[in-house]
Structure 1
Amino acid sequence: MLDLADELNRWLEEGRDFAVATVVAVSGSAPRGPGAALAVDADGIAIGSVSGGCVEGAVYDLCAQALKDGQAVRERFGYSDEDAFAVGLTCGGVLDILVTPVRADGPGRKVLQVALSAAARGEAAALARVVRGPAQLLGRALAVHPSEARWGPPRTESGGSYEGDLGGHPDLDRAVVDETRSLLNAGRTGTFDIARDGSHCEPDLTLFVESSVPPPRMLVFGAIDFAAALVRVGKFLGYHVTVCDARPVFATRSRFPEADDIVVDWPHRYLRRTRTDERTVVCVLTHDAKFDVPLLEAALRLPVAYIGAMGSRRTHEDRDRRLRETGLTEAELTRLHSPIGLDLGARTPEETALSIAAEIIATRQGGTGLPLRDSHTPIHTGTEARRSGSASRVGSF
């Protein structure tokens, strides 16, 4: 649901009634993962998607019915259904979908507004909803803010760290807030089981947690034409993109109008003072030893998600030698993607940016980079992990 935060928050502000269907579990191959949502308002206007088209019509009807009778419902769609080709997933996967009505006179509207408005502002927040349990609790929700400074200022219980309740069970509420906050502080979406007394013994409730966190960072070093194309691709993928170059004549807003930040500084000095985390990607496009060697020496010692450096194979060999002389270990050097990008035969800046983005995605998702025709791994990676109940990361890194 939080992936539609901007639109749904606007619907709430306009006083619209609507129902929202959210993917809460995935098994096998499926086009969209947990958290994907489709919403339908009282006028029949629909936004979002839960399956890329496979079951949209049937889910639309469920939303309309939930909006009419005011009851939350959980439904399963899969290839094994009798009418698989009518409303099932012909790709062979199974989706569990929670449909929740959000009416002006219904419970839980304020809870959703707290979570959706925070997500729409780009703040960290999580929404925990009951997806398995007694009918009267199905769809009940808590909106939870982080307790750690990682995603913003810490909040206290008295300062409104969460909103809502799960049917008048304070111990349950506190236990769910703690579990939800653990997922939120890690920037993850997932499910967990719990008993109505707040313990983990003989659980009789399952809660689905959606986390919304600030976008991951893409740091692009080197204000060249290839960087301009990479900025556009990075923004398309949802990154907060920063361009850094020590040369003020090149690091200008007119050259990079779509960048979130433009920094004039020596790259290694900026990297050491800026915020990074395990979702950050570092793209070094300077291919100049005086810039990229000290920068890569610093980057390869940081717990970031991806580090790539542009240059020819001869440049890479010289860079590798210089980096070894700085004392970097073999394990640290193996983290470097150099020359940067996948072999797509790219020539233009736009094609090169696409090859870099493809490598970043493959690194994040564990992809092979091979044509799907020639690979024998699952098309939608990560579904087996979700089947086993582990939490999945939200968004890109």
Structure 2
Amino acid sequence: MWNIADTLHRWCREALPFALATVVDVHGSAPLPAGTSVAVDMDGNAAGSISGGCVEGAVYELCQQVLKDGGAPQRAWFGYSDDDAFAVGLTCGGELDVLVQRIDPAAQPHLAAALAEGLRGRPTAVAQVVDGPEDLLGRTLCVLGDGDAAHGTLDDGEVDRAVTVEAGALLRAGRTARVEVGGDGDTCPEKLSVLVHVHASRPRMLIFGAVDFAAALSRIGHFLGYRVTVCDARPVFANTARFPEADEVVVDWPHRYLERTEVDARTAICVLTHDAKFDIPLLRLAFDLPVGYVGAMGSRRTHDERLHRLREAGVPEEKLARLRSPIGLDLGARTPEETAISITAEILSYTNHATGLPLSHGTGPIHGPLVRSQAGGRTASYDAPAPAGMGR
């Protein structure tokens, strides 16, 4: 629902009932992920898209029907072999499971409050029951800030507490996902499937070294939605005039700044300094932090020398294995701008557990967890776990 949060917030603020159609599950190469929504108000105004266009008409009709009937939420399934009354084939060949429900904002004031928090840029999660007992289907509970404050209710008891815990964990990871709760005597006798719509704070990109490559990387990092910090101990180079698209430019020794700043599993650390007196203490610290990516620029000779110094400093091999160096994917990059694309491509590939290989060399769904590729006469198989929240 965060793809249309501004429209939903306006309708909630004006107490206008609307139908909300949400993708609650995706199989194959569906164009948009779970959590994407379309909404239709009483006047027939629509917002959002769940398929890039190929099933929008059918979803719009379902939304109008739910608004008119005012009854229980409805489920719809769209796939390439759909034979029901709303038979629409996804051009990409994927499958979508969609929940359509009526929202009366006056009865759910917590939803307007959560949308407002998200639009202010604050971490917010909306937990929506998408499978389970009919009387709970479509109910929402909102979790704000650090995951401790819950608003609204699903079942006013252990279910609410269990969902709040799950939503808080996903909020801290910055990832929208579907979770299962209940099915036991301690929480709820019937199992619930809950889709947690997460609006997380922006992930951080920490760039160390105020060089030309850092200027290009800060621009692309900003474009990708990162909160970008450029840090360098040399004030003549580290200034806002040289890095206008960075959110923060810091003059300090890199390791000293890293010691005092906040990082998490979505943070990307890019070391562009090329100087051992900066690199070694910085990397030693970075390896001990729960960040999502650590990369360092330099030639292969520089990389080998850097590894030698780190080993001399007592860094074990399992920590050295976290280092992506030379930084970036092999794109033939030469200019600062091309190099920035190479670096961010590797960050996306690494943090999303992808192969980084051309999609044209693969078989199967392009958005699925399993990627198979034919490259160099060999077949490579990669079974990717769920992403850690960075870039999704």
- Shorter-chain TM-score range: 0.7 to 0.9
| Count of matched residue positions in the alignment of Structure 1 and Structure 2 | 377
- C-alpha displacement at 1:229, in angstroms? 1.7
Specify whether residues 339 and 260 from structure 1 end up closer, same or farther in structure 2 by C-alpha distance, changes over 3 A only.
same
Q: Structure 1 residue 96 and structure 2 residue 91: aligned?
A: no
Match of 2:378 in 1: none
Alignment of 1:218-237 (within 5 A): 218-237=205-224
CA RMSD of aligned residues (A): 2.9
Match of 2:59 in 1: 59
Percent sequence identity is 56
Question: Aligned partners of 1:394 and 1:330: how far apart in 2?
Answer: 26
Question: Aligned partners of 1:383 and 1:175: how far apart in 2?
Answer: 31
SS in 2 for 1:360: helix
Question: Aligned partners of 1:249 and 1:11: how far apart in 2?
Answer: 50
SS in 1 for 2:23: strand
Alignment of 1:331-350 (within 5 A): 331-350=318-337
Specify whether residues 45 and 395 from structure 1 end up closer, same or farther in structure 2 by C-alpha distance, changes over 3 A only.
farther
Q: Structure 1 residue 26 and structure 2 residue 26: aligned?
A: yes
Moved more, 310-319 or 349-358: 310-319
Specify whether residues 114 and 232 from structure 1 end up closer, same or farther in structure 2 by C-alpha distance, changes over 3 A only.
same
Q: Structure 1 residue 291 and structure 2 residue 278: aligned?
A: yes
- C-alpha displacement at 1:242, in angstroms? 0.9
Match of 1:139 in 2: 138
Specify whether residues 35 and 77 from structure 1 end up closer, same or farther in structure 2 by C-alpha distance, changes over 3 A only.
same
- C-alpha displacement at 1:271, in angstroms? 0.8
Alignment of 1:294-309 (within 5 A): 294-309=281-296
Question: Aligned partners of 1:392 and 1:76: how far apart in 2?
Answer: 25
Gaps of 5+ in 1: 156-160, 385-389
Match of 1:192 in 2: 180
Question: Aligned partners of 1:162 and 1:48: how far apart in 2?
Answer: 27
Match of 1:8 in 2: 8
Specify whether residues 350 and 194 from structure 1 end up closer, same or farther in structure 2 by C-alpha distance, changes over 3 A only.
same
Instruction: Kindly provide the amino acid, as one letter, of the partner of residue 98 in structure 2.
Output: I
Instruction: Kindly provide the amino acid, as one letter, of the partner of residue 59 in structure 1.
Output: V
Alignment of 1:71-82 (within 5 A): 71=71, 72-82=73-83
Match of 1:39 in 2: 39
Match of 2:112 in 1: 113
- C-alpha displacement at 1:244, in angstroms? 0.8
SS in 1 for 2:21: strand
Among candidates 162, 168, 172, match of residue 150 of structure 2: 162
Instruction: Kindly provide the amino acid, as one letter, of the partner of residue 22 in structure 1.
Output: T
Contact 1:15 1:104 (C-alpha < 8 Å) held by counterparts = yes
Contact 1:73 1:138 (C-alpha < 8 Å) held by counterparts = no
Specify whether residues 94 and 226 from structure 1 end up closer, same or farther in structure 2 by C-alpha distance, changes over 3 A only.
same
- C-alpha displacement at 1:207, in angstroms? 2.1
SS in 1 for 2:102: strand
Question: Aligned partners of 2:77 and 2:388: how far apart in 1?
Answer: 23
Among candidates 227, 242, 261, match of residue 229 of structure 2: 242
Q: Structure 1 residue 257 and structure 2 residue 252: aligned?
A: no
Instruction: Kindly provide the amino acid, as one letter, of the partner of residue 50 in structure 1.
Output: I
Specify whether residues 85 and 179 from structure 1 end up closer, same or farther in structure 2 by C-alpha distance, changes over 3 A only.
closer
Specify whether residues 67 and 233 from structure 1 end up closer, same or farther in structure 2 by C-alpha distance, changes over 3 A only.
farther
- C-alpha displacement at 1:344, in angstroms? 0.8
Alignment of 1:314-393 (within 5 A): 314-376=301-363, 378-382=365-369
SS in 2 for 1:87: coil
Specify whether residues 269 and 52 from structure 1 end up closer, same or farther in structure 2 by C-alpha distance, changes over 3 A only.
same
- C-alpha displacement at 1:353, in angstroms? 1.0
Contact 1:19 1:40 (C-alpha < 8 Å) held by counterparts = yes
Superposed CA offset, 1:51-97 (max 9, x none): 23332232233233333333432211112213799622233322111
Question: Aligned partners of 1:198 and 1:139: how far apart in 2?
Answer: 22
Contact 1:190 1:392 (C-alpha < 8 Å) held by counterparts = no
Instruction: Kindly provide the amino acid, as one letter, of the partner of residue 55 in structure 2.
Output: V
Match of 2:382 in 1: none
Question: Aligned partners of 1:58 and 1:198: how far apart in 2?
Answer: 40
- C-alpha displacement at 1:277, in angstroms? 1.4
SS in 1 for 2:111: helix
* TM-score, normalised via structure 2 length: 0.86
Contact 1:217 1:276 (C-alpha < 8 Å) held by counterparts = yes
Moved more, 232-241 or 375-384: 375-384
Superposed CA offset, 1:231-289 (max 9, x none): 12212222111111112122222222221111111111111111111111001112222
- C-alpha displacement at 1:339, in angstroms? 1.1
Moved more, 237-246 or 203-212: 203-212
Superposed CA offset, 1:141-172 (max 9, x none): 111236xxxx3xx75xxxxx3222336x5444
Contact 2:294 2:322 (C-alpha < 8 Å) held by counterparts = yes
Superposed CA offset, 1:345-380 (max 9, x none): 112222111111110111012211111111346411
* TM-score, normalised via structure 1 length: 0.85
Question: Aligned partners of 2:16 and 2:136: how far apart in 1?
Answer: 23
Question: Aligned partners of 1:367 and 1:391: how far apart in 2?
Answer: 10
Instruction: Kindly provide the amino acid, as one letter, of the partner of residue 116 in structure 1.
Output: L
